[in-house]
Amino acid sequence: MGILCDSVYTLKAWAESLGGIGYPLCSDFWPHGKVTQAYGVFNSDVGRPERAIIVVDAEGICRYIDVHQLREVPDEEEIADEVNKLGPSA
């Protein structure tokens, strides 16, 4: 699952720009950043979350956390490797 602080309309447009994705996207738009605050990656100084990748397994355990500056692009291959470690049901 992907959780972003953008509106559902922005998430839909982003997923479509990628040609579709195989996992659900959830909007953390309102109350603004409530989920990212719970994961400790919301930057209240600027009013938005950090760019963070958090991989959570089926039992709800965080298995991977990677936080980047806004302009940094996460390594997609590294993220895919971490998700693949969860097994075929991930």
**pLDDT tens digits for 41-87?**
999 998 888 888 888 888 889 999 999 887 888 888 888 888 888 88
Q: Is the domain of 12 the same as that of 38?
A: yes
**Residue listed under structure tokens 């355990």:** 61
Question: What does the alpha-carbon distance between residue 74 and residue 51 come to, in Å, rounded to a whole number?
Answer: 8
Split into its structural domains, the chain has a count of 2
Task: Please report the pLDDT score of residue 22 as a whole number.
Answer: 83
- Could you please report the per-residue DSSP string of the chain? -EEESS-HHHHHHHHHHTT--SS-EEE-TTTTTHHHHHTT-EETTTTEE-EEEEEE-TTS-EEEEEEE-TT----HHHHHHHHHTT-TT-
89 falls in which pLDDT band (50, 70, 90)? Answer: low
State which residues form the domain around 5: 1-47
Q: Is the domain of 61 the same as that of 35?
A: no
Q: Is the domain of 20 the same as that of 8?
A: yes
9 falls in which pLDDT band (50, 70, 90)? Answer: very high
